[in-house]
Structure 1
């Protein structure tokens, strides 16, 4: 079973753009650093922007450091937090053309882990050979000052326990809200007061600090999934400091959390149908008939597991919510579809062990039962602070009705009582378009059947940005760069390496 997960890790772009691999690439360790860029910095921020980095080797080909950032950018004297960085120097030993910051998404995914474990997978060989590739953990994440909530045992209960009450009843809704409230209480108690400041605008301001202390006048950046929202937010705040930005798997900044949930639900149903069409062509598919027949049979499996959860070899019980998580995880990458076939084949025979491995992978839970890099905690914190609850019960009912009609397989298990309704701090974010007037060209890359960040969001973001340039990858899976489409890779690399702006509307079949 461990081999299955290792293969999935190597093949997948995981939750909301989280990137992993298992093949590190060597590069020379260097302690060199340019002088900080402090041009135009106010006096109260100068102590942060004038930091000189002290790099130390942290594995073959990598060096690491930390940067102090204001806890509250509106009040820089109110305390500070620590940001963790890792650097991979050009693999051929050449002088770098600059720094390339990379964010793998989430929110909550570790950029340090991304670069440390899979720099070539993250940026490709040509960019790896040209740039100082910089991975960083945003505030609240991983090796930076992070959000802390539950220990592993309590997290298991929170994510995997079977509800006691019947789905859809008032008692079930209250039970889920109570569960969310307990999690929110633990986060507030254990995170040392940082929760109100775990926001995407603050993380974008941190990114400008990183740009400056790395010695770059402008930001060169490759952001995946949520990383596209972080990059767009940066461009809105600092349009004059935009260098070469690529936003892959775009999130539309103006959509609400309810709209986001609805659109993703429709996207995953579409991806699931594409998986079923592919599965039915193989001899090992556990379903038969048409795609509609297979989807109906999968719906029957989910309903059965909802009534009678399946016992796993480690003692956990798999209900419909966890099985749906296991289904969603491999839909992020077409290369992971075979693992979904194995999981569903076994689940139909009463064995949920492989499905649990997929769900654990989604939540960043390792084989020892520990949760890595505080991913889920940071994910919740960012979303609750970024997205105000600005919808009504009628809006939720309308969204559910649309899911019932257009995504009937996943609809019964998709929308649940809003966890951010019991978060301890009111959202400070606003959902509005980002134009970034005056910015250099910003390349937005969308994939036509991306389930997690649907293609329509890439079109919308490229339209909003005053200098947006849309590149389209026709295909399946989440994000588009470095996934085997030469047309896409050539366009992105020409921009990041040479500044050659792709044709707006370029469509890569």
Structure 2
């Protein structure tokens, strides 16, 4: 069972590590408002035990979400804690709680407050994200003025309890499955696999936990975290799915917002079908941009005509459906893993050389590069251990979006997605199978809607013209919905701010530190990779 097309993680720094690994294979100023004075509003009395809790910060050694994080988390510049929150905000006194993991790097100068950050997913670890971004943010002024705080949303990373659906062996097995048969028997097989995934998640995580892991609940956790660290107002940077968290926080607590930087927007008004189709179209655009670059180079595996690149790609990839290729470690590269690896490389143009090499390998009967990219997407380490990111992604998505329970809707989605992204097509017709959300044990807690944010101070939205995962127009629309300012960024990657581009970073840092809004029509252009 493959998750529906992801609302992916931020490519940098997460993809910076991916880029380095894959490319080896191919050759502030005045105080802008206190963040530590009395609370901006009266905290809900029924939640006093959570809002008033005293945090016990300590070493981060036992908080690393993955083995790869352990060395970074051992650095003494970081400290960690867990914040207690109610499992169910409708029943805060029932004794059931969750613990949200936080990692902090203390401000080194005149402190404004805390900068909370989330890298997206849903399911990605915010503690890991901030631990890897801290050095960069120390040089751009953020580390001087803010305590930098990453958090693992409920169910993810080092937070407790964790969403758990599959063992490592089951994850490996799942990735080899390809459901490309559009016949009734093929659809039944695909749906049986989705149903099994839902059953395993329910058995191993618990329906009561799954019912309360959505954006609605994380936004409330964020306000508890704000109060627990002693901040009057929330300063937040959210990327990709992190923009959905920021939007939900703005709706629930507009009076508690100091600054929201939202980069790689999710449009809250879009239906499940529309958002998925538009994301597929975004990846096709990214593939087409890659193909234009590749076909201008010697020995491009897609030939010399960008107009024929999709057909050439299909000819190389579709045979994997029946004949996966070995990767040298006892595993084989399936059609699904190959497509995952390709999509991973389309997040940033820096990975285009790796993608070209990976496609060339498949054409010659090998699959090492694309499997590496797929492993990194799935957060599988060299020992075969997985984080819970993909499982959390699926579980959180199922309570964040209405399920497609009608087989006709599932077929519509498959058909429109195939048309929007033909480079991903199996060539055998759309498979109208319902995904795991159709068999989920609990209902969604969020529906598509226009956000109501009366009293929200100015926010800033960043949107990249060639973003494959969160298309540019969604950022334009979200800025309008929130009454915010838009920074347009010309480039080919997923998200852009606080990642080293001088133009985008200056506008973002000036806003976060000084609350200086970007000028109307603000526009930046990323340097070619």
| TM-score of the aligned structures, taking structure 2 as reference length | 0.86
The residue number in structure 1 matching 2:357 is 342
Structure 2 residue 183 is matched with structure 1 residue 169: yes
- Structure 1 residue 366 and structure 2 residue 377: aligned? no
Q: Counterpart of 1:232?
A: 247
The one-character-per-residue Cα deviations of 1:193-224 (angstroms, maximum 9, x if unpaired) are 31100110100000000011111111000000
- Contact in 2 for aligned 1:161/1:317 (Cα 8 Å): no
Question: Take 2:505 and 2:39, find their aligned partners in 1: how far apart are those partners?
Answer: 31
The answer to whether structure 1 residue 77 and structure 2 residue 97 are counterparts is no
Q: 1:142 aligns with which of 125, 146, 157?
A: 157
How far the C-alpha of 1:147 sits from its partner, in A, is 0.6
Cα distance between partner residues in 2 of 1:385 and 1:356: 30
1:491 to 490, 494, 507: 507
Q: Distance in 1 between matches of 2:418 and 2:166?
A: 34
- Quote how far apart the aligned CAs of 1:323 are: 1.1
Alignment of 1:421-460 (within 5 A): 421-460=438-477
- Alignment partner of 1:43 out of 45, 62, 67: 45
SS of the aligned residue for 1:293 comes to helix
Counterpart-to-counterpart distance in 1, 2:144 and 2:52: 28
**Counterpart among 58, 67, 91 of residue 83 in structure 2:** 67
Contact 1:198 1:382 in 2 (8 A): yes
C-alpha offsets along residues 241-278 of structure 1, whole Å, 9 cap, x if unaligned? 11110000000011122212111111101100111111
- Name the residue aligned to 1:385: 399
The offset of 1:230, in angstroms, is: 0.3
Q: 1:488 to 1:99 in 2, by over 3 A?
A: same
Closer, same or farther: CA 360–141 of 1 in aligned 2, 3 Å: same
Matched, 1:125 2:140: yes
The within-5 A match list for 1:107-256 is 107-121=122-136, 125-145=140-160, 146-163=162-179, 167-192=181-206, 193-256=208-271
Which residue of structure 2 lines up, in the alignment, with residue 28 of structure 1? none
Once residues 255 and 129 of structure 1 are traced to their aligned partners in structure 2, the CA distance between those partners, rounded to angstroms, is 38
Distance 1:294 1:410 in 2: 12
Q: Distance in 1 between matches of 2:52 and 2:446?
A: 29
Is the 1:211–1:217 Cα contact (8 Å) retained in structure 2?
yes
Work out whether residues 158 and 183 of structure 1, in 8 Å CA contact, stay in contact via their aligned partners in 2: no
Asked whether 1:15 is paired with 2:8, we answer yes
Q: Which residue of 2 aligns with 1:259?
A: 274
* Residue correspondences, number: 481
Q: 1:285 to 1:120 in 2, by over 3 A?
A: farther
Structure 2, gaps ≥5 residues long: 1-6, 19-34, 61-74
Deviations 1:108-146 (A, max 9, x none): 000111112332457863212221000000101010011
Q: What's the offset of the Cα at 1:482?
A: 3.0
CA shift, 1:403, in A, is: 4.2
* Residue equivalent to 1:507: 523
Deviation of 1:86 (Å): 0.5
1:404 CA drift (Å): 4.4
TM score, norm. by length of structure 1 = 0.89
Shift of 1:36: 8.4
* Structure possessing the higher relative contact order (Cα contacts under 8 Å, 6 or more residues apart): 2
Q: Pick closer, same or farther for the CA change 1:190–1:258 going to 2, 3 Å.
A: same
User: C-alpha displacement at 1:484, in angstroms?
Assistant: 4.3
Relative to structure 1, the CA distance from residue 456 to residue 39 in structure 2 (aligned partners, 3 Å threshold; closer, same or farther) is closer
User: For residues 378-437 of structure 1, what are the alpha-carbon distances to aligned partners after superposition, in whole Å with 9 as ceiling and x for unaligned?
Assistant: 111110011112585555545444444443222448875322111121212111011311
Is the CA contact (8 Å cut-off) linking 1:265 and 1:411 kept in structure 2? no
3-state DSSP of counterpart to 1:449: coil
| Equivalent runs, 1:20-31 vs 2, <5 Å | 20=14
Q: CA RMSD in A?
A: 2.3
1:323 paired residue among 338, 349, 356: 338
Give unpaired runs (5+ residues) of structure 1.
1-13, 24-32
